[in-house]
Structure formats: C-alpha cells, structure tokens
Structure 1
Amino acid sequence: MTLESNPLTSLQGASNFRDVGGYPTAGGQRVKRGHVFRSDHLAGLTDADVARLQSLGVRHSLDFRGVVEYTATPYAIAGVERVALTIEPTVIARMQALVAQGIVPTTEETVDLMRETYRDFVNRNADTYGRFLKHLLEQPTPQVFHCTAGKDRTGFAAALLLSALGVNRATIEHDYLLTNQLYKRDARLEGQGHPHVMKVLWQVQPEFLQAAFDAVDTQHGGMQDYLHGAIGLSPQDLGELKRMLLEP
C-alpha cells in the first residue's frame, strides 16, 4: 500500500504545523482530518495565522513546554485556551551538566541521551500523556498540541495518539520524520553547543522513537497494555477516541 502523504496546513509563524489526520489504520479506516493538529510553538503566529486557526475551529492548545520555555516565548490567541501539559526538557539539563564538567558528548552519546529522553516519555511522563489523550476525549472541538520545536514531546504524543487509533508504526514513523523537512531551526531557542551535538538535538531520528516503542513493548507489555495501564485509558475511553477521530 502506498502511503498517502498527509495534507499540510502551513502557517507563516509556525514551521512544523500540520494535521495528524488522513492516515489509514490497520482496520481499514482513516484518521479524520481537521480535528487534531500538531505544531512547534505558537508564539510567532501572524494575524493571518490566528485567523487560520480560528477558521479551523481550534479552541484549545495543549502545550508540552517547560516553565522556562513558556516564559521565554508566551502567547495568547483569541478564542484558544492554552492548556499546560508541562514536560521539562530534561535532555537539555543533562547536556548542560556534561558541559559544566567539561565533557563534550560524541554524536553517538548525544543519540543515546535522546533515546533515554524518549524512554522517560514512556515511563516518567505517562500521566501527562494520559491527560493529553483524555483532553482530546473531553473536548470535541479541534485542538492543537505542541512543544518548542514540535518534534520530541510532540512527536511522542502524536505517535501515542496514532497508535491508539490503530495506525501502524511505519506510518507513524513517516509522520514523525516529517519534522526534518518542516521544522525551521531557530538559534534563539537552541542555545549554544557544539554543531554535531546541536544537529542531533534539533532533528529527529528513527532511533529516538524506536526507543520509546521498545520501552512500551518490553516494559509495559505492548501498546494496548500501556494505554490501558500507565496512560490510564479504559477500553471504553479508547473506543470513544476511535469513534471521535476515525472516519466511519
């Protein structure tokens, strides 16, 4: 089966904004378009962008950024309620600790740090990701979720949602890797670091997402058990999420 490319809804002030709908599921259905969007941060939106969000019917923005990130680039969008789903960017703290010791990690060591970050999403941030999915359930109007670059915390959130809806992992990886085509790096947000380290930190690699899936499979008994267990969705919740977000 040829994967249909996902329709993009470009915004001038957010480079990694897109619809998570349009993807096929293993059961032969398709994720509804126009209901859930993913993005990088929304602090740079133009008036035209805000009008576009309003025309899409977006009423909630689910913000995974940490306190310092949000404080540095806050936003307020008329008609859109921001919901804080705070996940602090621990990989940055780990990197700063190494630099403080005079250690410059290699490319592979930086990749290992990113893998560990994704395992933390699974094991340490399950409650927050559970709140994310439950918010989608509780609010029928379109929503957008994001972090700073829309790649890691947001990338795992999208992978979790698409997994819950029955999209296969190859398709989920395709959506995840679109970030490398879409996200425009912003040096003001990245901080200082060695180029080989920053290249790893501000792109996505299949190995990062695979580390999360491996943790789900080996430590939680697979995606269904993870969704019903650590994430906290009942079978009824999962069924309702599919009813809301899959085409009949």
Structure 2
Amino acid sequence: MSDRPVSVTQPSNFRDLSEHVRRSLPLRSRVLFRSDHLGALTADDARQIQLLGVRRVIDFRGANERLRAACAVPGVQVHSLAIEPAIVQVLSGLLAAGQRPTADEVDHHMQETYRGFVREHSGRFAEFFELLLESDQPTVFHCTAGKDRTGFAAALVLRALGASPEDVLHDYLLTNQRLKPPPGGAWGLAPEVAAVLWGVQPQFLQAAFDAVERDYGDVPTYLREGLGLGEDELRRLRDLYLRT
C-alpha cells in the first residue's frame, strides 16, 4: 500500500495512528486510523478514506449522535460500541438549570468523564479490542470529535502495543492542533470555557490512568483483568499491528 501522506481534510481530526509514535513503536501504517465522526464527509474525502483500504469502522458515539450523522463512507462495516457522551449530558443539565460553568468546572467534569471510561465503560473498550483481534483490516475508530472516547481508545491501543507514555501523550494532544470546533462555539459558553470543552489536556488522560491505577494497580493488570488482554491476546495484537 502506498505511503503517501493521508490527504483527508474533513473530518479534521482524522489521522493514521502510526504517524506520530515511530520513535518508540514500529506500528504498521495504514491499518489503524483515529478520527472525529464520518457523517459530514465531502465526496472526495469519502473516496480518500476508501482508497486507504478502510473496510471496518468502530463508532463509540451514543444513539442520538449516530442518528444525527450516519457514517458517509460507502462499503464499510460499522460496529457501534456506544458510550453516551457524559460531558454533554452534564453540561446540558447545568445550562438547563440556568448555571454557567466556569473553565475550571468543565475541566473537573472532563476528568470525571475520563474516570468513567475506566469505571463504567471498560466493557466497551474490551469489545473494541475483540474487534481489533479479529483481523488487521484497515480500521477507523471514532466518536463525535475524536478526542475523548477515541483518545482513550487510542491511548489503550498504544499502551497495549508498547508505545512510550511520551508518544501516547503526544498523539493524544495532537487533537489540539487538528480538531476544528463547530462554528459559533458551543451552547453560548464563554470562549475560555469552550476552549476547555473542545480541547484535550494532559490531566484528562491522566485522570483515566489514575483510575486504572487505583482500581487495578497498574496498566498491565487493567489490560488483563479489565479488557481481557492476556499474553496470547497481546502477542496476537503485536503480530497484527506491528512491523516485523
């Protein structure tokens, strides 16, 4: 398969997971892509994704999110691993009650969302790995913005494959350079508050891994006990997705 640069422009947070971890991990290119949602593609971007060989899409969005923007890539199999957007629900409730959250409050709720990925949704991430273990067919995994549910999924894949924590964080923070927030902001929030909501920060991802350490002791134990990745599964994952 060609090594030409990925030329997808919309969704803006679409990227090959291998591109930014090569310092620590020989991850194969053109097999794992992370993204924001695939429901607003131009015809050219849909064609570019098809040319990358993508045939499997893993969608972490909740039910209403999927209804509003169905996958626009022809000929792919979509697997729904729904995780409802907790931060959206929390902020909607606050705004409905007439409260205007501050940037610090949104930061707090974002960290709680990430802790919830571990404590409430590990089953979904276990299903995610089950799909990845089936085959190495080129796959896009995504949520709505491609930053939180997708960001944690990407971090788990990279950690399971052996990437350094520095490279995991580097890939995670690239969202701040790539994601285009919706025009007009979100819910009329102040700009500094919307910036927290539409970005990613190291403390968000760290909150998830802090929950891993508190509940499981360490990442290898979480991979094994929380996600069902024993030595055989980890070996197969490496065989499928790492260059030999």
- TM range, smaller chain: over 0.9
Whether the 8 Å CA contact 1:17–1:37 is kept in 2: the answer is yes
Q: Report the secondary structure of 1:125's partner residue.
A: helix
Q: In structure 2, list runs of 5 or more residues that go unmatched.
A: none
Partner of 2:10: 13
- 1:8 and 1:206, CA in 2 relative to 1: closer, same or farther beyond 3 A? farther
C-alpha displacement of 1:218: 2.0
- 1:107 and 1:198, CA in 2 relative to 1: closer, same or farther beyond 3 A? same
Q: Which amino acid aligns with 1:20?
A: L
Q: Which amino acid aligns with 1:176?
A: Y
TM-score normalized by the length of structure 1 = 0.91
Q: Which amino acid aligns with 2:15?
A: R
Aligned pairs for 1:28-177 within 5 A: 29-177=25-173
Q: Report the secondary structure of 1:145's partner residue.
A: strand
Can you list the C-alpha shifts for 1:176-207, whole angstroms capped at 9, x where unaligned? 01001001111489444333322211111111
Aligned residues: 240
Larger mean Cα displacement after TM superposition, 55-64 or 96-105: 96-105
TM-score normalized by the length of structure 2 = 0.92
Whether the 8 Å CA contact 2:111–2:208 is kept in 1: the answer is yes
Whether the 8 Å CA contact 2:176–2:200 is kept in 1: the answer is yes
Q: Report the secondary structure of 1:62's partner residue.
A: strand
Counterpart-to-counterpart distance in 1, 2:199 and 2:75: 32
Of 210, 217, 225, the match for 2:213: 217
C-alpha displacement of 1:77: 2.1
Counterpart-to-counterpart distance in 2, 1:121 and 1:148: 16
Counterpart-to-counterpart distance in 1, 2:159 and 2:101: 33
Counterpart-to-counterpart distance in 1, 2:148 and 2:130: 20
Counterpart-to-counterpart distance in 2, 1:139 and 1:110: 38
Identical amino acids, percent of aligned pairs = 44
Q: In structure 1, list runs of 5 or more residues that go unmatched.
A: 1-6
- 1:150 and 1:189, CA in 2 relative to 1: closer, same or farther beyond 3 A? farther
Larger mean Cα displacement after TM superposition, 51-60 or 156-165: 51-60
Counterpart-to-counterpart distance in 2, 1:165 and 1:111: 29
